[in-house]
Chain A
């Protein structure tokens, strides 16, 4: 069987025996810096805007609802089942995901350093709502804005315990495969808007 053959070759190559336990791996390197919410909002906004994403800051959930309603007016919409969307009163009529113009999601975290959204799929978030429609709108409270990738893996050391799919979204889908010319929206959304809500 291939499994035994491969493992046998690996062990022979390394001079190891079945059941040999390795020395502990090198230590984990995760750095944490202390930043204020305002600093994180500024960094997140700057990073995402540099990638042609858009950030809308809202002082209240009502404001967030209005901002989203304005974006989706007259459009075909699909939304995830994020409870925060419901809490904001964002409950649009759904269409089929593959036909939607706009996909609305929450986000489990956002990373200030890189302008990244982190979505863990489950009963609230889906894999496809942030992916199939040409426009993605994510609504999240500023309390979910954390510093960096390092901090994320401190908070979520074992993502696989929580979900089959954790995805980082850093700006609109893009390609530069033809003559190194940047084009947005090749397979995923070409338009990413993040609504940051103050509570």
Chain B
């Protein structure tokens, strides 16, 4: 989806879909409650300190990113791993395709990774007949349905058990079954075979630990553990902003991530992985490759005022708490990342003028900043982006506002224009103009005002009223 204007038709569709509205509202509501129950001062008195510490650590790491990247690389290499630097998704796909060809691997298992969504990795691999199977239950459902994640941590939030039953019956040839436990077991059975047959496992990374040369992967299902440990080759793909300096910094982030994402003090599994299986170890992959991806991140890094966009640890709390996300859902946002975090990073990756409405799709209520575990000031960033949009525009809107400013500072002209307006568009509907007079229904005016009601001009201006009042004396 792209375009200069708000996708009005799709938004209307989403808002009119009662079932979907209910699903979004219930799911995000439950996540809000669960988070609240584990960050309250009674159960986590140092929650605010943790946020501040996490923020300081992220800031320090990003401000010295080249140093920590090189430290990470040296440590990964020292543990027998291999670091691959990639500017873009194309380079990532080329690397994986080359490796698969060399090793004769034709099946890849994948655990959930927003970074690989961002670079359309599965599609790129499939173009070359390399099958990459998603193994997170939600992601697997979406892969069968050919859809994108609806939410950063709850990707299939919009799917019902009936839809999953239809999908499994259609794609897997199993009997139609709407019992969620059975659906889960079906996925377990089908995917277990894939894990044991796959030549390569691809995971993302929640954190990269510089002093250890390690990737940290956080999950609940166990599919990331299987992906990283069962196949003979493990490839971890991570954006360069995922770094933290030391293993000892992990508790701060782990305490925040699970709580903010799903209301868990710790997720079920946290894997701290550094390199391939070592001599003497009972199992584990023979090869470990860490892909460090830029894909626009250095562009964000260069902008000191907005650099904190890169602090994000992808917990999804800002989505759950956003009144706009909770109404419009995930698919009305352009780009891979939805919700408030998407509204600040997508414009920076793709250019503010590609979706100029996006930074405006917020009420600036501040709920996102309040729950962000690394204290990203999302409302401030939205305002920065709004001003960039306005400055970047040369067109009619800017001219219109300039004209308006001129009118507002020239009383005679103002009086004349408002008198004209009152004559041309009288009355309105209960005092509001819901649509424009025919002669103004064109181009940008029509678009701009199609979503805005304006108060109908009064039949008599205040000045006129005052003059008339002076003539006929004060009203009784």
Contacts and interface: CB of A to CB of B under 8 A. Distances in A.
B18 to A, nearest CB: 16
B298 to A, nearest CB: 4
A2 B91 contact: yes
Interface in B120-153: 135-138, 141
Given A2-B85, A163-B281, A157 B248 contact: yes
Contacts of A20: 64, 66-67
A152 B189 CA distance: 35
Given A173-B221, A173-B222, A188-B221, A167 B251 contact: no
B247 A157 contact: yes
Interface of A: 1-3, 5-7, 9-14, 16, 18, 20-23, 25-26, 28-31, 51, 80-81, 98, 113-114, 116, 121-128, 131-132, 148-150, 152-153, 157-160, 163-181, 183, 185-189
A5 B293 CA distance: 12
Nearest to B157: A180
A22 B249 contact: no
* Those 9 A-B pairs whose CB atoms lie nearest each other, nearest first: A188-B222, A22-B64, A177-B138, A13-B302, A160-B274, A187-B222, A160-B212, A9-B298, A126-B282
A7 to B, nearest CB: 5
Interface in B232-277: 240, 245-252, 254-255, 262, 264-277
Contact of A9 (B46, B50, B262, B294): B294
Choose among A26, A126, A158, A165 the residue with the greatest number of B CB atoms under 10 Å from its CB: A165
B155 A30 contact: no
Contact of B252 (A11, A29, A122): A29
B164 A6 contact: no
Interface string B20-61: 000100110010000000000000001001100100110011
Nearest to B135: A187
B309 interface: no
Interface of B: 23, 26-27, 30, 46, 49-50, 53, 56-57, 60-61, 63-67, 69-70, 75, 79, 85-87, 91, 135-138, 141, 154-157, 159-161, 164, 180-181, 183-184, 187-188, 191-192, 196, 209, 211-214, 220-223, 225-226, 228-230, 240, 245-252, 254-255, 262, 264-278, 280-284, 288, 292, 294, 298, 301-302
Contacts of A31: 46
Contacts of B70: 7
A150 to B, nearest CB: 5
30 contacts: A2-B91, A5-B85, A9-B298, A14-B66, A22-B63, A23-B64, A25-B60, A25-B246, A28-B248, A29-B251, A29-B252, A114-B266, A122-B278, A122-B282, A126-B282, A127-B229, A127-B284, A160-B209, A163-B281, A164-B79, A164-B276, A165-B273, A165-B274, A170-B269, A171-B268, A172-B268, A173-B221, A175-B137, A175-B184, A188-B221
B225 A131 contact: yes
Contacts of B135: 187
B196 A98 contact: yes
Nearest to A182: B180
Contact of A6 (B138, B220, B294, B302): B294
Contact of A159 (B184, B247, B249, B254): B247
Contact of B292 (A6, A23, A157): A6
Contacts of B274: 159-160, 163-165
A46 to B, nearest CB: 12
B229 A131 contact: yes
Among B69, B272, B301, the most chain A Cβ lie within 10 Å of the Cβ of: B272
B201 to A, nearest CB: 12
A16 B64 contact: yes
Contact of A126 (B246, B266, B283, B301): B283
A107 B356 CA distance: 54
A121 B283 contact: yes
Nearest to A173: B222
